[in-house]
A = this chain, B = another copy of it.
Amino acid sequence: MTLYLNLAELLGARIEQGLYRPGQRLPSVRALSVEHGVSLSTVQQAYRMLEDSGMVSPRPKSGYFVSEGRHLPALPAVSRPAQRPVDISQWEQVLELVRSTPRQDVMQLGRGMPDINSPTLKPLLRSLAQLSRRQDMPGLYYDNIHGNLALREQIARLTLDSGCRLSPADLVVTTGCHEALSCSIRAVCEPGDIVAVDSPSFHGAMQTLKGLGMKALEIPTDPVTGISLEALELALEQWPIKLIQITPSCNNPLGYIMPEARKKALLSLAQRYDVAILEDDVYGDLAYTYPRPRTLKSFDDDGRVLLCSSFSKTLAPGLRIGWVAPGRYLERVLHMKYISTGSTASQPQLAIADFIKAGHYQPHVRRMRSQYQRSRDLMSDWVTRYFPPGTRVSRPQGGFMLWVELPEHFDTLRLNRALLEQGVQIAVGSIFSASGKFRHCLRMNFAALPTPSIEAAVRKVGETALRLLDQDDACA
Which A residues fall within an 8 A CB radius of B?
91, 94-95, 98-102, 111-113, 116-117, 121, 125-126, 128-130, 132-133, 137-146, 149, 174-176, 178-179, 182, 186, 190-191, 204, 207-208, 210-213, 312, 316-320, 334-336, 338-348
Question: Which chain B residue shows the least CB distance to A117?
Answer: B137
Between A and B, 25 residue pairs with Cβ closer than 8 Å are A95-B334, A95-B335, A98-B144, A98-B145, A98-B343, A99-B145, A100-B144, A101-B144, A102-B141, A125-B140, A129-B133, A137-B316, A139-B318, A142-B317, A178-B338, A182-B339, A190-B191, A208-B339, A210-B339, A211-B335, A211-B338, A318-B346, A345-B345, A345-B348, A347-B348
- Among A117, A125, A146, A149, chain B packs the most CB atoms within 10 A around the CB of A125
A395 to chain B, nearest CB (A): 26
Residue pair A317, B95 in contact (C-beta under 8 Å): no
- Which residues of chain B are near A316, meaning CB under 8 Å? 137, 139-141
Q: What is the CB-to-nearest-CB distance from A441 to chain B, in angstroms, rounded to a whole number?
A: 22
Q: Are B133 and A342 in contact (CB under 8 A)?
A: no
Contact A338 B94 (CB under 8 A): yes
> Does B179 lie within 8 Å of A340, measured CB to CB?
yes
A151 to B139, CA, bound (A): 20
Residues of B within 8 A of A145 (CB): 95, 98-99
Interchain CA distance A129-B179 in the complex, whole Å: 26
Bound Cα distance A13, B209 (Å): 48
Residue of A112, A174, A176, A339 most packed against chain B (CB within 10 A): A339
In the complex, what residues of B have CB within 8 A of residue A125's CB?
132-133, 137, 140
Closest to A319 in B: B345
Majority DSSP secondary structure for residues of A touching B: helix
Chain B contacts for A137, CB-based, 8 A: 116-117, 125, 316
Closest Cβ of chain B to A423, distance in Å, is 17
**Residue from B111, B143, B175, B190 in contact with A142 in the complex, judged by beta carbons closer than 8 Å:** B111
Besides the contacts A101-B143, A138-B318, A175-B345, what 8 more A-B pairs have beta carbons closer than 8 Å? A95-B338, A101-B149, A125-B137, A140-B316, A174-B341, A179-B340, A211-B338, A345-B348
Query: Complex Cα distance A116/B98, Å?
Result: 34
Which residues of B lie under 8 Å from residue A132 when comparing CB positions?
125-126, 128-129, 132
State how many angstroms separate the Cβ of A348 from the closest Cβ of chain B.
Answer: 7
Contact yes or no, B339 A211, CB < 8 A: yes
The answer on a CB contact under 8 Å between B175 and A320 is yes
Asked whether B141 lies within 8 Å of A317 as measured between CB atoms, the reply is: yes
**Is there contact, CB below 8 Å, between A146 and B342?**
no
A448 to chain B, nearest CB (A): 12
Please report the C-alpha to C-alpha distance between residue A209 and residue B33 in the assembled complex, in whole angstroms: 61
Nearest residue in B to A322 (C-beta to C-beta)?
A: B341
A135 to B335, CA, bound (A): 39
Bound complex: CA A243 to CA B297 (Å): 40
A320 in contact with B335 given A132-B128, A133-B129 (CB within 8 Å): no
How far, in Å, is A187 (CB) from chain B's closest CB?
A: 10
Closest chain-B Cβ to A203's Cβ sits at a distance in Å of: 10
Q: How far is the CA of A112 from the CA of B343 in the complex (A)?
A: 12
A126→B125 CA distance, assembly (Å):
14
Alpha-carbon distance A371/B121, docked complex (angstroms): 41
When chains A and B are docked, how far (Å) is the Cα of A176 from the Cα of B117? Answer: 28
CA distance A190 to B142 in the complex (A): 30
**Which of A101, A112, A348 neighbours the largest number of chain B CB atoms within 10 Å of its CB?**
A101
What are the residues of chain B within 8 A of A175 when measuring CB–CB?
Answer: 175, 320, 341, 345
Residues on B with C-beta less than 8 A from A317 are 140-142, 342-343
